[in-house]
Structure 1
Amino acid sequence: MRRMSVITMMVALGGPVMSQEDGAPLSAIDWLSQSVESAPTVAASRPQAVEPPITSTGTAPGVTVTPLEDTQSGPLGVLPSDVTGLPIGLWARSDESTLVSLIRAEQVETLPALQDLLVTLMLAVAEPPVGGSGDALFLTRADKLLDMGAIEAAQALLESGDLLDREVFRRWFDVSLLRGTESEACAMLEQQPTLAPTLMARVFCVARNGDWNAAALTLNTARALGDVTPDEEALLTRFLDPELAGEGEDLLPPSRPSPLVYRLKEAVGELMPTSGLPLAFAHADLRDTVAWRGQIEAAERLARHAALSENVLLSVYTARAPAASGGVWDRAAAIQDLEAALESEDDADLAQALQVAWAAMEDAGLQVPFARIYGEMLLSRRLDGPAAQLVYRIALLSPAYEAAARSHTPRSVAERIWRAVVTGEFADVEAKDAPSAAVLAGFQASSPSESLASAIEEGRVGEAVLRAIAAFQQGLDGDHQAVTDSIATLRAAGLDEIARRAALQYLILDART
């Protein structure tokens, strides 16, 4: 059975998206729809149905709503301390605005180990900052998960808060659209009219609940009152009238489509490609209704940013026989050949298939997901020569990194350094370049820099860890001293395993010896 970490099983991470207009990072707050508003506009004009709305199921939505005052006074989150290894007070002694700024500034295009850590921080059950409401921090945590493409994690976090809060519900509504669970969101709007949905959300949900006549009347009333834009009117009209869907010219694509607009355009037969959309949208291309090539491209994009279980990536790669060659087809063929070689007893065939598959994964930037799938099982095969060296490298990027380090005799300076990082045995181990020197210094340092050491001593653990993640990113950009400080900080915060995994990925993914 394939092995997955707790975080990989629960969530997915992703990288930043770019605005089609200016190339600047596009955060979740930019692409989430304004599904609710401060005051209803067309809500009062909606006619009351004579009979209850028709639904697709007789069961009540599986959502528990807890008043805000009962939740924000205590810890909020999904993963308890015994899972995360982080104290429940990791935010409590920091200034809330500082935490918000640090989270928003975190780059998610980073090492997989640090991506996992950032997701863990966002999901950790933790008390709000002392002296602050915790509302802004909670929403910022959810937004960061959305930026990462971790839509299941974001949904779980939001449901741990107050769904009756408009800003919380707004995000939960859009995540429901992305996950295809909009029935629950629309049912909640029926039960909680004070959430004041916008016209588009109201029309969509009234129709989704089965009352198409009421939805059409709502739209007509808004049109008469001038409360709908031409673009909204055109899209909603096609949505409500199937005979108009697919007829005439396609509607102009919005520059920043929201999940609601995406679902509406899908419903009228104008499905938008997700390659240019925020990472979270790529989950829609994993459905069976999407061509296999599109599924592979979406799975690779998500897995590249640790936003998808590696087992899902494997299942997509092996779903059917490649019909062509080049690009995604060659990668699918390479994985399928490796799977076949693993089933055989021919080590020569396995060595050849492994080298081809690893080269394909390097080209796609999928080395770590590949290692998580195959690292441990490759250790059980006794390969020789270059193939054995490759297996060692792959296994060090997998959950079996400790077993790999202790069962392998280093044959190069680089391998001795990798083994020392895992075992903590640094005697007679010398650096071979600036990156390895920075890593060794981080593990041998007695404490991090004064400012980060003070943060940990004062109980500002979450703040210190956020700064350590940012510091490691500086190291990826060339600041080797920042790598040293980051590793020392992670270890001081009790995250020694994360420090080792990040260091191994930092050294191995760019290693050529």
Structure 2
Amino acid sequence: MRHAAALCLMLAAGAVQAQEETSRPLSAIDWLSESVNTPDPLSSSSSSTDRPARAGEDPIADSANIPEVTVQPLGSASPDPVGVLAPELTGLPRSLWAGSEVETVAALIAAERIETLPALRDLMRLLLLAEADAPRGAGPEAALFLARIDKLLDLGALDPAWEMLDAAKPDRPALFRRYFDVALLTSREAQACRLMDEMPELAPTLDARIFCLANQGDWPAAALTLNTAQALGDVSARDEALLTRFLDPEVFEGLPPLPVPDRPTPLDFRLREGIGEALPTTDMPRAFAHADLREINGWKARLEAAERLARVGAVDDAVLLDLYTLRSPAASGSVWDRAAAIQALDTALAEEDAEEVADALPEAWAAMEEARTEVPFARLFADRLRSIELPERAEELATRIGLLSDIYEEIALGMEPETPQAELLKATALGQAAETVPPDEMAAAVRAAFAGAEPPAPLMQMVEEDRLGEAILRAVAIFDNGIAGDPEAVTEALAFLRAVGLEDTARRAALQLLLLDRRP
């Protein structure tokens, strides 16, 4: 296969990239709160300037400074195998990562794109949540587990991240930092503060201690903690200004707002919210959008947050629909128009008025294309659309929507194709090769994958070596290259997914490629 040589080069380059990326902390996220002071045993390493003792020579200290001491629970094991989905649920073997190097897999996870086809993103999320044996080289530093958590945070998938962290017992600084921040963004701060109180060995930072004392209602202790830090000179001017206002905001009423940091953390976010200087989340990492879903926020902010999260599958589809239909739009434009369009369709479907549905459907679909939430919309409405006998003018669009939903195979069985494109869509949904000539190169690439194209040999070799998870990650990256304009990469990635039993993912990804505009 002509593309095989290029694929081998890609795999080799990926390995080099993985090695390069392991030279820096793979699990570091710029916006995590500094919630604990304790040196982190999960990411500690010796200095590159340390000289090892020569044979027969006693170790020699090169400094009179007291060395940094790290602590770790006795008998602690790597949390890398921890997952919230058992192999029986994922359909993936427990040996998913067993033959891979932990650093390579962690680097590949960190490099995976968020903005990809929903089917590929769903597959990546399945890998992140899967319970599986640890890869080679796994240890208490938890490189794979932290890479998985950090990718979930990057996705904005905070509830699964919370479940994973809870399952792993967040009793170490690297784990607790993530646990604490997820708690802050999902209104679970009381649980995180209780755990911090129960485990003083976590050595919480001044900001975290004061926030938690106030959260638990002990404002005098919070004030005493800050006053003591001020007397000892243990608090920066920036933190002192923020914490002083947090503890007594009325004293500073009428003063100009505090400067906004370049990279606010979730703790910054909540402290500023407490002093009435809430930060907009629009330009902040996606995970912060969860804070806007709370009922204390306005409807528009909640709608925009739900759309942003639904776009990457980080919130349940029902949350999006509930917010779209919460009340009558207060204005026009952007999100208000989308809410109005969804409400019109929802009402027409509830009244089983086929003509009204046919009239409302195009506008609702255009609204979802604008928001890039077509797949959540399809999952919400495809079955309801199928239950109504629609006028001919709406049938083609309803079919396209159905092919993007969970019932795509049932929709395909009812199709009577009249064009090569429709024939290809039906055949793809049924896992078959289309009999007609595809209309373009990308369509031909999809057809080839379902006509028996051979999967890439390097990826299949990985599968034989108990490196299935690594091979899947690489296949997803190859597919992403295909979306950017390489039809042969699409064929190879789809052929691989089918070869390893991920038929449903292959069909969904192919249909989404053909029906959605996701070109970079």
TM-score range, shorter chain: 0.7 to 0.9
Query: What residue is the counterpart of 1:215 in the other structure?
Result: 222
Distance in 2 separating the partners of 1:327 and 1:348: 26
The change in CA–CA distance for 1:462 and 1:228 in structure 2 (over 3 A counts) is same
The change in CA–CA distance for 1:427 and 1:269 in structure 2 (over 3 A counts) is closer
The change in CA–CA distance for 1:427 and 1:201 in structure 2 (over 3 A counts) is closer
The change in CA–CA distance for 1:68 and 1:271 in structure 2 (over 3 A counts) is farther
Q: Specify which of 123, 126, 133 is matched with residue 129 of structure 2.
A: 123
2:315 counterpart of 1:289: no
2:448 counterpart of 1:438: no
Query: What residue is the counterpart of 1:33 in the other structure?
Result: 33
Distance in 2 separating the partners of 1:427 and 1:162: 50
Query: What residue is the counterpart of 2:244 in the other structure?
Result: 237
Query: What residue is the counterpart of 1:156 in the other structure?
Result: 163
Query: What residue is the counterpart of 2:458 in the other structure?
Result: 451
Residue-pair matches, total: 461
Q: Specify which of 349, 357, 361 is matched with residue 350 of structure 1.
A: 357
Q: Specify which of 110, 116, 124 is matched with residue 116 of structure 2.
A: 110
The change in CA–CA distance for 1:387 and 1:188 in structure 2 (over 3 A counts) is same
2:94 counterpart of 1:88: yes
Secondary structure of the structure 2 residue equivalent to 1:217: helix
Secondary structure of the structure 2 residue equivalent to 1:448: coil
Secondary structure of the structure 1 residue equivalent to 2:454: coil
Distance in 1 separating the partners of 2:36 and 2:75: 21
> 1:415 Cα shift?
1.0
Secondary structure of the structure 1 residue equivalent to 2:450: helix
Amino acid at match of 2:131: V
Query: What residue is the counterpart of 1:300 in the other structure?
Result: 307
Query: What residue is the counterpart of 1:272 in the other structure?
Result: 279
Query: What residue is the counterpart of 1:480 in the other structure?
Result: 487
Unmatched tracts of structure 2, length 5 or more: 1-25, 41-71
Query: What residue is the counterpart of 1:398 in the other structure?
Result: 405
Distance in 1 separating the partners of 2:223 and 2:448: 67
Query: What residue is the counterpart of 2:333 in the other structure?
Result: 326
Query: What residue is the counterpart of 1:15 in the other structure?
Result: none
Distance in 2 separating the partners of 1:448 and 1:154: 33
Within a 5 Å distance, the mapping from 1:361-440 to structure 2 comes to 361-426=368-433, 428-440=435-447
> 1:151 Cα shift?
0.4
> 1:307 Cα shift?
1.5
Distance in 1 separating the partners of 2:486 and 2:418: 29
What TM-score, normalized by structure 1, do the two folds share?
0.86
Unmatched tracts of structure 1, length 5 or more: 1-25, 41-65
Distance in 1 separating the partners of 2:223 and 2:505: 54
2:151 counterpart of 1:144: yes
> 1:122 Cα shift?
0.4
Is the 2:80–2:144 Cα contact (8 Å) retained in structure 1?
no
Is the 1:178–1:259 Cα contact (8 Å) retained in structure 2?
yes
The change in CA–CA distance for 1:267 and 1:427 in structure 2 (over 3 A counts) is closer
Query: What residue is the counterpart of 1:77 in the other structure?
Result: 83
Give the number of the structure whose alpha-carbon radius of gyration is greater.
2
Distance in 2 separating the partners of 1:184 and 1:236: 21
Distance in 2 separating the partners of 1:70 and 1:227: 32
The change in CA–CA distance for 1:245 and 1:393 in structure 2 (over 3 A counts) is farther
The change in CA–CA distance for 1:380 and 1:68 in structure 2 (over 3 A counts) is farther
Percent identity over the alignment is 51
> 1:267 Cα shift?
0.6
Distance in 2 separating the partners of 1:204 and 1:234: 14
Amino acid at match of 2:300: R
Distance in 1 separating the partners of 2:433 and 2:107: 37
Is the 2:153–2:161 Cα contact (8 Å) retained in structure 1?
yes
The change in CA–CA distance for 1:263 and 1:427 in structure 2 (over 3 A counts) is closer
Amino acid at match of 1:401: Y
Query: What residue is the counterpart of 1:227 in the other structure?
Result: 234
Amino acid at match of 1:88: R
Distance in 2 separating the partners of 1:246 and 1:489: 62
2:177 counterpart of 1:165: no
Secondary structure of the structure 2 residue equivalent to 1:269: coil
Secondary structure of the structure 2 residue equivalent to 1:92: coil
Higher relative contact order (CA 8 A, sep 6+): 1
Distance in 2 separating the partners of 1:33 and 1:346: 52
Distance in 1 separating the partners of 2:331 and 2:79: 58
> 1:427 Cα shift?
5.5
Distance in 2 separating the partners of 1:221 and 1:411: 78
More moved, 437-446 vs 136-145: 437-446
Is the 1:468–1:489 Cα contact (8 Å) retained in structure 2?
yes
